Structure 1
C-alpha cells in the first residue's frame, strides 16, 4: 500500500468480497489520494470499500473522505432511511391505512394518510390538501371535511397509490401564509426526508381559503410543487411570472357568491399572458362555492395530476 494513500492506511484490511455497487473514484479529505473501489457497506461514521486494484476491503472513517464522497454517502443513508420509513422512523406510527393525527415540530396540526401495504423501496406522490376558512382551528379534525378522503379511496389508490397530508390552519385570520406557510413547508420537507415520498411529485390543492393558499404558497416556494389545483380561490396577479412554469388546473363556479369568479379568471389570464403554457382553467357553469364534490371525483383531474413531475434541474 502506497504511503500517499493514507486514507487507506487508517483502514482495516478485510477479506475480499463481491460488492454490489459499481466502482467509483474515492478521494481523501485533503485531495491527495484517489483510488477506484466498490462501496460494500456504509454508516454515518464509516464506509467499507473494496479497492479495484487488489480486491481487498478497507474501512475508512467518513470524515477522511472528500466532501463530495461524504455527500454521496449521506444521500445513500437518506434513501436507506426512506426505504425503511414505512415501518421504522419518525412517521412509522402514522402509516396505518387510516388518517392519523400529528403535530409537527413547528406546532402545526395535521392528519396524515399512508398505507403499510406500500413498497418502501418505491417512491410515491404526496397530495397536500388545504382546507377553507371554516375548518380552521385547533381540533385537528375539521380539516378533513370529506374532501381529502376521495384521494385515498380504494378505487383511486388502485390506480395511483399516494400519501396524503391534511394540515390545519390555526386561524382563518392568518390563513395559509407567513409563518403558517413556512411551518407547512418544514413539515413537507421532514416527511419527504423520512418516508418514501417522491420529492418530484408533490401536489398542492385546496378550496376557498385553501385555493388562495395554493396560489400564495406556490408563489412563495415555486421550486417545490410539481402541480397545483386551486378551487374557488384566487391569486396575486403580480406573481404571474413566478407561477408560469408550474402546471396549474384552476377550477371555479361561475355562480360563486363567496369568492367572485373573477379572482380565478384574473390570475389564470395573468399567468397565460406572462407566457404560462401550463395554466389550465375550468369554469363550472351554474356551480356555486362548494365545488369540491364536483371537482375532486373527476377522473381526468386525477389522470392529469399524477402525470405531472418536476423537470430535472437544468445543467446550463
Structure 2
C-alpha cells in the first residue's frame, strides 16, 4: 500500500467525524436569556437572542427552570406555515399548532419547553436552515432540555421545514409530526432517522393529496416502519385538529426517544 493511499484512507473517517454536528449538552438550570422567559405563560421574544437569529414565542412552566432530581424536559419546536398575506411590521401571534401543547391538561401530562420561531412575511423555512439550527443549539445550551426528547412539529411550509431539518440534522430529533407539507423524496429519503407521523387532508390540493405527501411517506416507510401516514377524509389544507388535536398523536410524539 502506498503512503498516498494510506493517507487517503485515514482521512475518510476523520472527514466523517468533522462533518458531524452534535448539539451542545444542556445545563442543569436555565440560563440567560431564557430565565426571564420562563413565566408559565406565552412570552414574545421579538428581538432574536442570537445575532442574525429568529424571533420566537416561548412557553415553559416556572418549575422547568431547573432539572430537579436530575430530571430534564422535552423541547418542542413548532414551525408555522407561510405568511404571504402578512405585512412587514405586523405582530406575529402564537399559533394554535403551538398553544395546543400548553393547554392545562396536556401540559400537566407532558411538561416541556415549547418554542415557535417565525420568519418575516414571504419567507420560507427552506431559505433559512442555518437559523433553525442555530436556535436549536442555543436553546439546548441554555435550558435543561432532555437531549433524547427534542421534537419537531410543522404545518404546510413548516412541514417542509420539518422534513428538511430532520434530514439535515438526523441525530438531533427523536420524532416529528408534519401536516400538509411535502418535499421532494430526493431531498430527504435515506437521510432521516427520526419517526415521522405525516398528515394531509383528503380534500387538500391535488399536488399535496394525490402526489407529493403520500409518495414521500411511502418511500420513507420502506426504510423505517415507524413512519406513519394519515389522510384525513374530507379534510382541507388545515388538518391540525385531526392530528395534533388528538391525545393519541401527542402521546405518540412524547413516547419517541433517541437511542
TM-score for both structures, normalised by structure 2: 0.81
Preserved contact between residue 53 and residue 135 of structure 2 (Cα < 8 Å): no
Q: 1:152 aligns with which of 99, 102, 124?
A: 102
> Counterpart of 1:229 in 2: which secondary structure?
strand
Aligned equivalent of 2:198:
250
Q: CA deviation at 1:217?
A: 1.3
Q: Is the 8 A contact 1:233 1:259 kept in 2?
A: no
Aligned to 2:78: 129
SS at match of 2:134: helix
Aligned to 1:265: 214
Q: Which residue pairs with 1:186 in the alignment?
A: 134
* Separation in structure 1 between the aligned mates of residue 88 and residue 61 of structure 2, nearest angstrom: 26
- TM normalised by structure 1 equals 0.67
In the alignment, does 2:53 pair up with 1:110? Answer: no
Match of 2:33 among 90, 94, 104: 90
Residue 213 of structure 1 is matched in structure 2 by: 161
RMSD: 2.0
Q: Which protein, 1 or 2, shows the higher relative CO under an 8 Å CA cutoff with sep ≥ 6?
A: 2
* Matched-pair contact (CA < 8 Å) for 2:28–2:66: yes
Deviations 1:98-121 (A, max 9, x none): 111221313311111111123612
- Alpha carbons of 1:203 and 1:141: their partners in 2 closer, same or farther (altered >3 Å)? farther
CA shift in 2, pair 1:175/1:209, >3 Å: same
The structure richer in strand per residue is: 1
Q: Distance in 2 between matches of 1:208 and 1:258?
A: 14
Cα 1:241–1:182 shift into 2, 3 Å: same
How many angstroms apart in 2 are the aligned matches of 1:278 and 1:296? 17
Equivalent in the alignment of 1:142: 92
Aligned counterpart in structure 2 of residue 168 of structure 1, from 118, 132, 152: 118
Q: Structure 2: any 5+ residue segments left out of the alignment?
A: 1-24
Q: Secondary structure at the match of 2:194?
A: coil
Does 1:286 find its partner at 2:234?
yes
Q: Distance in 2 between matches of 1:155 and 1:139?
A: 34
Q: Are the counterparts in 1 of residues 53 and 134 from structure 2 also a CA contact under 8 Å?
A: no
Q: In the superposition, relative to structure 1, how do residues 92 and 138 fare at CA in structure 2: closer, same or farther (>3 Å)? A: farther
Aligned partners of 1:91 and 1:152: how far apart in 2? 17
Structure 1 contact 143–168 (Cα < 8 Å) conserved: no
Q: Is the 8 Å Cα contact of residues 259 and 289 (structure 1) preserved in structure 2?
A: no
- Name the structure with the higher helix share: 2
Rg: which structure is higher?
1
